[in-house]
Amino acid sequence: MFCKNIEFINYRNIEKENLEFTDGINVIHGENAQGKTNILEGIYIFARGKSFRAFKDRELIRFNCDSAYAKLTYENKSSSNELGVEIHKSGGKKFYRNKIKVNKTSEIIGDFRAVLFCPSHLGIIKDSPSVRRRFLDVAISQLRPIYIKMLAKYNSVLEQRNAILKMEPSVRIQYEGIINHYSDELASLCADIAGMRIDYIKKLDYWVKAFFDEMMKGRETPKITYEANAKENDLESRESLKNKYSRLLKDNLEREYKSGATLYGIHKDDLKIEINGRDARFYSSQGQSRSLALAMKMAEGEISKEYSGEYPVFLFDDVLSELDENRRKYILSKIEKRQVILTSCEPLDFDEIKNVNFIEIKNGKRETYKISNESADTEVFENENGDFENTESDEPDENGEDSLFDGEESDIIIDENDGDEE
């Protein structure tokens, strides 16, 4: 799969721009605060259904404008397609597939698939469990649309159950039957969602082992499993998972009334990551954690390819500058035959890779572009007026804290409603 081009109108700091990409490596470069991450964010909206860093959709609208628009054209092995999104200040976000409006955001998830990798993801091993759950949720959603529906349903039941748990004892007495009903519903959804997570993690474990092994020359062996209070082993059947979640919810109801929240379920589960039998969440070094994070992102791409037969688009926001020489070399050795769109402040060295598409961004506009080739030592960059430019910047990389999970309150990634403003 590859992203052919993206067009923006009044999106973030981009008034109007149309960017073309090649199916190989594309480098969006420029000084700080010019709009590089904005572009990756704009592309990723079509994979995830929402921004990875905006708290509200309206943040995406250019200052002093009423609406923003983006259109992405991508090609997969069978066809060329167009996805559009319109965001209005008055509220609401509308997606279009080949110019036809879709009813729900979740309907477009999975059409265009991408793996996003930002510096904050390098901390996934040591971050809180919610960050690892979101990694799973975002990855699985792109492959299995039903997963999004289940998460949305789970979130809604959880919210209603929590509302009862928060009630005064004298009021909640009349809701006893309802809370039992919600517990059953949650347990059933937990079994389905945990089952899909476990399936995904088996593949993740396989690929992370393979990448990590290559990176670390077989010195260390990672292992990834699903960690849930309701699970004892990976071979658990759906029925057994459901019964265990159900038991946990029933047995702990008094505790839950005291704390006013549901204490068990897939919103509390985690990914257990080990290296040579030790829990990496607590014992891995910074280098080991980064290699594992890198392996997880590469694995995400492989699993996506297993499902659909083609690689997703890889979006790397400022990660190459965050990695040391060995890891950078490793990642570059792995990205051939895949489309990669990456951002960087520093000039990057792609000596061994031909046909790299360089796009320089300045103040939300494409300033210059160039496709390198075998005799590319003549570093010529040209802007639309035909002027030649030197694109090197001496600006330090301030490494914007762009987190995949910024501004998110809940684990559930997709709003099932129309015009989803969170």
Ligand X SMILES: Nc1ncnc2c1ncn2[C@@H]1O[C@H](COP(=O)(O)OP(=O)(O)OP(=O)(O)O)[C@@H](O)[C@H]1O
The residue ranges that bind ligand X (CB under 6 A) are 12-13, 30, 32-38, 59, 61-63, 318, 343, 345, 398, 400
Nearer to ligand X, 34 or 339 (CB): 34
Amino acid at 230: A
| H helix or E strand, kind and range, residue 155 | helix 145-165
Q: Which of Mg ion, ligand X, none sits in contact with 242, Cβ below 5 to 8 A by type?
A: none
Of 37 and 357, CB closest to Mg ion: 37
Nearest to 372 by CA among 3, 103, 86, 25: 25
Whichever of 123 and 400 has its CB closer to Mg ion, that residue is 400
Write down the least CB distance from residue 394 to Mg ion, Å: 17
The interface partner of residue 345, options being ligand X, Mg ion, none and the CB cut-off 5 to 8 Å by kind, is ligand X
Q: Is 37 in the site for Mg ion (CB under 5 A)?
A: yes
Q: Which one of ligand X, Mg ion, none interacts with residue 34, CB within 5 to 8 A by kind?
A: ligand X
**Smallest separation (angstroms) from Mg ion to the CB of 119:** 9
Segment contacting Mg ion (CB under 5 A): 36-44, 64-72, 282-290, 383-391? 36-44
**Closest-CA residue to 318 (of 282, 348, 281, 297):** 348
Size of residue set near Mg ion by CB under 5 A: 3
Which segment (32-40, 82-90, 134-142, 292-300) binds Mg ion by CB under 5 A?
32-40
The phi and psi torsions of 142 (rounded to 5 degrees) equal: -70, -20
Nearer to Mg ion among residue 37 and residue 120 (C-beta): 37
In 252-362, alpha helices (H): 253-259, 280-283, 286-308, 325-334
For 212, the token pair is 């990590």
Residue 361 C-beta: closest distance to Mg ion, Å: 10
Residue 355 vs 403, nearer CB to ligand X: 403
* Cα 391 from Cα 348, distance rounded (Å): 11
Closest to 296 (Cα-Cα) out of 182, 284, 308: 284
Are 354 and 373 in contact by the 8 Å Cβ rule? The answer is: yes
Residue 32 touches which member of Mg ion, ligand X, none, C-beta under 5-8 Å by kind: ligand X
| Distance, CA of 317 to CA of 176 (rounded, Å) | 49
**Least distance from C-beta 135 to ligand X, angstroms?**
22
Least separation, in Å, of the C-beta of 291 and ligand X?
Answer: 24
For 390-419, the DSSP string reads --------------TTTT--SS-----SSS
Q: Is 304 in the site for Mg ion (CB under 5 A)?
A: no
Nearest Cα to Cα of residue 211 among 133, 303, 282: 303
Q: Does residue 236 contact residue 192 with C-beta atoms inside 8 Å?
A: no
CB nearer to Mg ion: give 130 or 321. Answer: 321
400: contact with Mg ion by CB under 5 A: yes
63 binds, among ligand X, Mg ion, none (CB under 5 to 8 A by kind): ligand X
Stretch touching Mg ion by CB under 5 A, among 35-43, 59-67, 230-238, 246-254: 35-43
Closer residue to Mg ion in complex, CB, 167/348: 348
Nearest residue to 83 via CA among 107, 60, 115, 59: 107
Asked if 135 and 296 count as a contact pair (C-beta separation under 8 A), the reply is yes
Of 100, 86, 197, which Cα lies nearest the Cα of 141? Answer: 197
- Of ligand X, Mg ion, none, which one sits near residue 62, judging by CB under 5 to 8 A according to partner kind? ligand X
Compare residues 25 and 151 and give the one whose CB is closer to Mg ion.
Answer: 25
The two most distant CA atoms of the chain are separated, in Å, by 80
Tell me if residue 300 falls in helix, strand or coil: helix
**Binding footprint of Mg ion on the chain (CB under 5 A):** 36-37, 400
